[in-house]
Amino acid sequence: MHLKKRVLVTGGAGFLGSHLCERLLDEGNDVICVDNFYTGSKRNIVHLIDNPYFELIRHDITFPLYVEVDEIYNMACPASPIHYQNDPVQTTKVNVHGSINMLGLAKRIKARILQASTSEVYGDPSVHPQPENYLGNVNCIGPRSCYDEGKRCAETLFFDYHRQHRLKIKVARIFNTYGPRMHPNDGRVVSNFIMQALRGEPITIYGDGSQTRSFCYADDLVDGLIRLMNSPDEITGPVNLGNPVEFTILELAELVIKLVNSKSRIIFSSLPQDDPRQRKPDISLAGNILKWEPAIKLEDGLKKTIEYFNGIRTKYV
């Protein structure tokens, strides 16, 4: 018999959080979504509001919260550079104070807790692809540090609560993920290219487009998070979750133009100094311990994402 679990999702009105809430409800759980709508939106969860097993709480997790749940997914944190650099002090706060509040809650109510960490903990890596035991190369005083170091400190807190208070923790290091409900103006390559193609504007590639990236579809990522949460207690992570299949930026632009059937042309601009040549996760650990690997092809995921952006374009953007 499936036992209904009570699950708290912080950042549940965001891109990934909303997909996670949906999937947890589909699996028969009771879901509490907590969000302060900094980058998230009611639009992302409006279809869940009438579900009697879904509750929405407007709350900033840098302040304490008390609810009774069995599991906590800590997803709250702006994820794209333009959003997390907008208020960098708040970005560090949500990672440090927010994590302390959620870990304190998990300790009091004896809940399992999962942290949405990031590939950015590896910084500007000198090892490709990055396995979980690579310690990273992070600048602690740059404009990205609020996010990178904030997430690193959150991981430290998770592991100290685990060692000191025997908390049941799970740490997922998420790599570049895309899909419907991404913020259309978040400045990331997938949303940029799709919006430019839908508007028929030129698609801007920095450099010659031969740099590679890998893209994980949201449903695959959510599947990995749930497998990690459901894994035996001794599996704490950190575990990389992402799609290792690489595409050049030029291939991505051409594919988006084809799928949108757009008249956009590609233009080239000079490469920013910190643009990495390659970003690719090593997911062998997730394969071994979670039996997880992404299943959705870029073309299929892009079609669904394009359909979403096309739907909201006229209404909200």
Ligand X SMILES: NC(=O)c1ccc[n+]([C@@H]2O[C@H](COP(=O)([O-])OP(=O)(O)OC[C@H]3O[C@@H](n4cnc5c(N)ncnc54)[C@H](O)[C@@H]3O)[C@@H](O)[C@H]2O)c1
281 binding ligand X? (CB under 6 A): no
Shortest CB 250 distance to ligand X, Å: 21
Are the beta carbons of 61 and 116 closer than 8 angstroms? no
At 268, the amino acid letter reads F
* Polymer length of the chain: 317
* Residue 121 touching ligand X (CB under 6 A): no
Query: Does the annotation count 206 as an active-site position?
Result: no
Does 155 contact ligand X by CB under 6 A? Answer: no
Closer Cβ to ligand X, 138 or 264, answer by number: 138
Ranges of H-type helices in the chain:
15-26, 81-84, 88-109, 145-165, 189-199, 218-229, 249-260, 284-290, 298-316
- CB-nearer residue toward ligand X: 11 or 294: 11
b/e code 116-130 from CB counts within 10 Å (16+ = b): bbbbbbbbebeeebb
The residue type at 291 = K
* Binding range to ligand X, per CB under 6 A, among 8-16, 100-108, 247-255, 287-295: 8-16
Q: Letter for the amino acid at 299?
A: E
Q: What distances in angstroms separate CA 11 from CA 77, 162, 288, one per listed residue?
A: 7, 23, 29
Residue 16 binding ligand X, by CB under 6 A: yes
State yes or no: residue 177 binds ligand X (CB under 6 A): yes
Amino acid residing at 5: K
Q: Work out whether 118 is an interface residue with ligand X (CB under 6 A).
A: yes
Q: Name the active-site residue from 147, 161, 178, 217.
A: 147
Phi, psi of 118 (to 5 degrees): -150, 155
x/- site string to ligand X, residues 226 to 255, per CB under 6 A? ------------------------------
Residues 30-89 that bind ligand X (CB under 6 A): 34-40, 60-62, 75-79
183 secondary structure, DSSP code: -
Whichever of 69 and 75 has its CB closer to ligand X, that residue is 75
Considering only 11-19, 105-113, 206-214, 309-317, which stretch makes contact with ligand X by CB under 6 A? 11-19
Q: What's the CA gap between 28 and 2, in Å, rounded?
A: 8
Pick 79 or 226: Cβ nearer ligand X: 79
The residues carrying an active-site annotation are 147
Q: Give the footprint of ligand X on this chain (CB under 6 A).
A: 10-11, 13-17, 34-40, 60-62, 75-79, 94, 98, 116, 118, 174, 176-177, 183
